[in-house]
Structure 1
Amino acid sequence: MKRTLYVVIPCYNEEEVLPETTRRLAGKMASLMERGLISVKSRVALVNDGSKDRTWELICACHRDNPLFCGIDLSKNRGHQNALLAGLMTVKEHADMVISMDADLQDDIDAMDEMVLKYLDGCDIVYGVRNKRKTDSFFKRVTAEGFYRVMNFLGANTVFNHADYRLMSRRALEGLESFGEVNLFLRGIVPMIGYRTDTVLYERSERFAGESKYPLKKMISFALEGITSLSVKPIRFITGLGFLVFLASLVMFVYILVRFFTGNTVTGWSSVAASVWLFGGLMLLALGVVGEYIGKIYLEVKHRPRFIVRSFLHDQEQEEQEKR
């Protein structure tokens, strides 16, 4: 029995690249169907994440012209991770497996073939891993690789050089659905699901058109989101630092007492000023880290919806067949 594949693509202001993306995906899906790897019921779901350009208009046009393409329109911009989750959860009941990827064509769509084969071989999750970054600038390559190393060092375990290009089975998606975090970091959550996993290596290409949605500032914010959502190591570092400072203060206390009883005390503002600045900075840093976690708790306990789907453009004939 042929398996149904859905490809989920979050889109935010992607009108420049979307025509080429849909053209290439149509060819790839047709190829997979001809080879008998996927069912003719397979689809591509384009998720509009509150775009300000003509992205949704183009998605609607794609759906009218070709039933291969579905459209999911979110009520407002929710961010890449929430838009991706919205797409995964919306198509979960229609698919046996789902591949998520970005719209910019930097992920090699030819790697989908090997992902599907590994799924048919029994894998529930297949990660697309970049084996080269030739097209990235030196700065981009260093910061991106540093991003993964820092994340793993601070306890947010991720797959090195893997973004959001992955295949997940319906069983894996049901496992993902059980994670109720409002602060989403899918690159760290998906490895927690378990089940049999594998990787597919591919070479990262240049963005076909448009601008990157992850400049340095947003990447740093994304890293902080992942670290504080998945790990308590930063708080433990502060605890350890506080213990070391406490030991140092005991040593200084003994030193001051010795100087006092030997009559060698020297008054001066330098040591006092340095101590005030040092401990003041440490306390502000500690408050900032703890405040970040408290902010996460504040958002989590509200249980607000992570996304709201305004409309879902889907093949009605296919829906009726599935209900039968």
Structure 2
Amino acid sequence: MSSQKVPVIGLIVPCKNEEPVLPETARTMKSKIDSLVARGMVNSASRIYFIDDGSTDGTWEIICQLAESDSCFQGVKLTRNFGHQFAVYAGLMHAEGDALISIDADLQDDINAIDEMVGCFLKGDEVVYGVRGDRHSDKKLKRWTAALHYWLSGRLGVRTVPHHADFRLLSRQAVTLLGQFRETNLYLRGVVPLLGLPSSQVHYARGPRMAGESKYGFADMFGLSVDGLTSFSILPLRVISLLGLFVFLVSMVFGVWALVAYIVGLTTPLDGWAPTGIPIYLLGGLQILSIGVVGEYIGKTYMEVKSRPTYLIEKTVSKASD
């Protein structure tokens, strides 16, 4: 990017049933864009893109009203609920701009951190991660499970930025490279670091939700965590294989011990656990081992070979040019 060019940025805002918070979110984001334009940090052609991820309330109607009233707002309606990661991905692939910033509609992520993100971009960073330096507004369970997830990800070799969710800036080059990833189990927090582009971090304090209830419950977070771990590491499958091998070897040891005990007269063939326990553990260990080995191959290919679309756009809305 030329140092003389004022960049056009796009804010990508995934939405699912955000009717209570959306009007205030739109006002806050529009004020932020206007402030950046007034200071000469971004171009007046910058836009805010609301991605409706299968909402069942009045979210899409509000997006349409916003888009029809102000050219700064644009709306993209997906055909159904594809999930948060794919809603963000759809917005990144659809939006225009020299840099795109993804941020949740609830504005728990500090919107003022965008100023520093844009500043890092102007200095040459292609990726800028928003990192939650203070999570006091989150419940203890969420903080503990998040810490466990990042710890486990590191142990499994998954490259992630601790305490970074999906609040990030991506340059046009980064978005173009990201478009080459067509993974069915999309985990952007793990994919973006794989781009290998110059990056930096902006730390901020996570605040309370502006209105409404979170649409991302424990089950969703658990599913995302599992997708992230299984998409970037086959170590869990190897652990299963090793567990099966361990059980099999232990069974063999006990089998030999039982045989020796019988030969020296310490037990009889039908005495105790040996006649039933050893075959059960032996066959069980072999089965787990076999499933683990087969899973090494199936787990890598099953979800990807179907090549289904990662998202489908039903309609878009924007204000007609004057």
TM over 0.5: yes
Cα shift at 1:132: 1.2
Aligned to 1:163: 165
Cα shift at 1:147: 2.0
Aligned length: 316
Amino acid at match of 2:24: E
Cα shift at 1:11: 0.3
Which stretch of structure 1 is more off in the superposition, 308-317 or 82-91?
A: 308-317
CA offsets per residue over residues 158-197 of structure 1, 9 Å max, x none?
Answer: 1100100000000001110111111111111111111101
2: CA distance, partners of 1:137 / 1:182: 31
Aligned to 1:298: 302
Amino acid at match of 1:172: A
2: CA distance, partners of 1:275 / 1:223: 37
Which stretch of structure 1 is more off in the superposition, 103-112 or 149-158?
A: 149-158
Tell me, yes or no, if the aligned pair for 1:238 and 1:286 is still in contact at 8 Å: no
Aligned to 2:202: 200
Cα shift at 1:216: 1.5
Pairing 1:314–2:297 present: no
2: CA distance, partners of 1:76 / 1:215: 19
Amino acid at match of 1:29: I
Instruction: Please point out which of 231, 238, 241 is paired with 1:239.
Output: 241
Amino acid at match of 1:166: R
Aligned to 1:154: 156
CA offsets per residue over residues 116-153 of structure 1, 9 Å max, x none?
Answer: 00011110000000011111222221122212222332
Q: Which has the higher helix share?
A: 1
2: CA distance, partners of 1:129 / 1:272: 55
1: CA distance, partners of 2:297 / 2:212: 35
Tell me, yes or no, if the aligned pair for 2:248 and 2:286 is still in contact at 8 Å: no
Mark the runs of 5 or more structure 1 residues left unpaired by the alignment: 319-324
Tell me, yes or no, if the aligned pair for 1:228 and 1:293 is still in contact at 8 Å: no
Instruction: Please point out which of 20, 23, 35 is paired with 1:19.
Output: 23
Aligned to 1:115: 117
Cα shift at 1:154: 2.7
Mark the runs of 5 or more structure 2 residues left unpaired by the alignment: none
Cα shift at 1:295: 6.5
Task: Name the SS of the counterpart of 2:262 in structure 1.
Answer: helix
Residues 54-93 of structure 1 aligned to structure 2 (within 5 Å): 54-91=58-95
Cα shift at 1:241: 2.0
Cα shift at 1:271: 8.5
Residues 284, 20 of structure 1: CA spacing in aligned structure 2 closer, same or farther, 3 A cutoff?
A: farther
Task: Name the SS of the counterpart of 1:214 in structure 2.
Answer: coil
Residues 247, 138 of structure 1: CA spacing in aligned structure 2 closer, same or farther, 3 A cutoff?
A: same
Pairing 1:7–2:8 present: no
1: CA distance, partners of 2:84 / 2:160: 17
Amino acid at match of 1:147: H
Instruction: Please point out which of 169, 180, 183 is paired with 1:181.
Output: 183
Cα shift at 1:293: 7.6
Amino acid at match of 2:175: L
1: CA distance, partners of 2:292 / 2:259: 34
CA offsets per residue over residues 47-75 of structure 1, 9 Å max, x none?
Answer: 01110000000001111121111111111
Which stretch of structure 1 is more off in the superposition, 215-224 or 281-290?
A: 281-290
TM-score (norm 2): 0.90
1: CA distance, partners of 2:101 / 2:301: 31
Which stretch of structure 1 is more off in the superposition, 184-193 or 249-258?
A: 249-258
Tell me, yes or no, if the aligned pair for 2:241 and 2:288 is still in contact at 8 Å: no
Which stretch of structure 1 is more off in the superposition, 46-55 or 145-154?
A: 145-154
Residues 273, 257 of structure 1: CA spacing in aligned structure 2 closer, same or farther, 3 A cutoff?
A: closer
Aligned to 2:224: 222
CA offsets per residue over residues 256-307 of structure 1, 9 Å max, x none?
Answer: 2321221112511488459847974995698499669846733321211111
Pairing 1:96–2:93 present: no
Task: Name the SS of the counterpart of 1:106 in structure 2.
Answer: coil
Instruction: Please point out which of 135, 143, 146 is paired with 1:144.
Output: 146
Tell me, yes or no, if the aligned pair for 1:155 and 1:232 is still in contact at 8 Å: no
1: CA distance, partners of 2:63 / 2:69: 10
Identity over the aligned pairs, expressed in percent?
A: 46
Tell me, yes or no, if the aligned pair for 2:121 and 2:128 is still in contact at 8 Å: yes
Residues 86, 277 of structure 1: CA spacing in aligned structure 2 closer, same or farther, 3 A cutoff?
A: same
